[in-house]
Amino acid sequence: MFNTLTAMPADPILGLLTKYREDSHPNKVDLGVGVYKDPQGHTPILSCVKKAEQYRLDTEDTKVYIGPTGSAAFNELMTQLAFGTDHPALLANRIRTVSTPGGTGALRVAADFIKRCNPNAVLWVSDPTWANHTGLFEAAGIKVKTYPYYDYDSKSLKFDEMLATLAQIGADDVVLLHACCHNPSGMDLSTEQWDKVVEVTRQQGFTPLIDMAYQGFGDGVDEDAYGVRKMAAAVDNMILCSSCSKNFGLYRERIGACSIIARDSAMANVALSVLLYVVRCIYSMPPAHGAAIVETILGSAELKQEWLDELKVMRDRINGNRAMLVDRLKAKGVDRDFSFIARQKGMFSFLGVNPEQVARLQSEFSVYMVGSSRISIAGISEANVDYLAESIAKVL
């Protein structure tokens, strides 16, 4: 059986991580891996998470399955976090949410759900999009196409082209949108642009699938959900995939959620039954530990405020790193305009250098980034920003 196999190419980011670890350069810089890091380069466990885990340790009394939907409390609180407590779709009982193994698990559940809704649906993703989006949906048997999004030359959105393409997409298809902190470009839709995307979605009738992996990392928890809430109020059908990996720092706990918005409560129940069949065929039951942490935090006024405060520290650090890099590049005499980095949101940005310059940064200066020049902003710190800026200046 296995003799027919050929080796798959290694994941480029994991390969970068291996090279970085083996590099003995004293000033090496890792801008590849997309996880939050504090100024010391460590990814800490949030204080509110530690407290919630201790509570779970003290109160958990069984390891029995929690059922394919996951924790009802987690699902309810995650729905409220995404949509707000008084959203019309929530008040009309049109939303059904299930727990999933991380945001990637939510996307795979959504993919198989879409395949059952319409086997011939085409799924449209932004150009560029998260590297795993295309492979994930193609693995579920869904054809993937792209719509224009990021302009590498002007470091801005191709919004008119994006809108024109969306206006040609039919009602049988699905369009994937990033809620905030676009991965990998960092270039987000403004509220005015979201309004226009929502309007063309309503007019064309295609199904929006919104991926929200970074709620709270852009402008704030409610601000980052603007597009999600606007869209859900305007369309009959929508899918939302959420992740707790980044904003709760629960990377290895693998907890996320998939929410289905239907035109009414009865149709939502039908959709949920199909969703649960999909879940049963993939992993049967979701993990419980991460969900218990999140529901403990969101269910406590004190812990939720502590979480919001800690999330703000992470958000401010990311935004501060953006401004700091731009300032240090100017200070090193770089004439090229890098101000776009400070205007973007979230964990990532394209530095805008060519592959040869990316290779030089790695081989000559031990500065590691993906070949597209996508950098993880959290890898920047006061300790390395001067060396990083000097290295970039030397390859320009």
Q: In 3D, which of 285, 388, 267 has the Cα closest to residue 329?
A: 388
Q: Contact at 8 Å (CB) between 382 and 327?
A: no
Question: What DSSP assignment string belongs to 291-321?
Answer: HHHHHHHHT-HHHHHHHHHHHHHHHHHHHHH
CA angle 187, 351, 208 (to 5 degrees): 25
* Distances from the Cα of 348 to the Cα of 80, 81, 166, 186, angstroms: 27, 23, 25, 5
194 is catalytic: no
Q: Is 359 helix (H, G, I), strand (E, B) or coil?
A: helix
Distance CA 230, CA 16 (A): 39
Is the bond into 88 cis (omega within 30 degrees of 0)? no
Task: Give phi and psi for 345, each to the nearest 5.
Answer: -130, 150
Catalytic residue among 37, 155, 158, 246: 246
51 is catalytic: no
Distance CA 229, CA 251 (A): 25
Catalytic residue among 112, 188, 211, 224: 211
130 is catalytic: yes
Catalytic residue among 130, 158, 188, 194: 130
Distance CA 336, CA 381 (A): 22
**Cβ contacts of 98 within 8 Å, gap of 6 or more:** 68, 69, 70, 75, 109, 257, 258, 272, 275, 276, 279, 286
Strands in the chain per DSSP E? 29-30, 95-100, 122-127, 143-148, 150-151, 156-157, 174-178, 207-212, 238-243, 256-261, 348-350, 367-368, 374-376
Distance CA 142, CA 119 (A): 7
Distance CA 234, CA 199 (A): 8
Is the bond into 184 cis (omega within 30 degrees of 0)? yes
Catalytic amino acids? 130, 211, 246
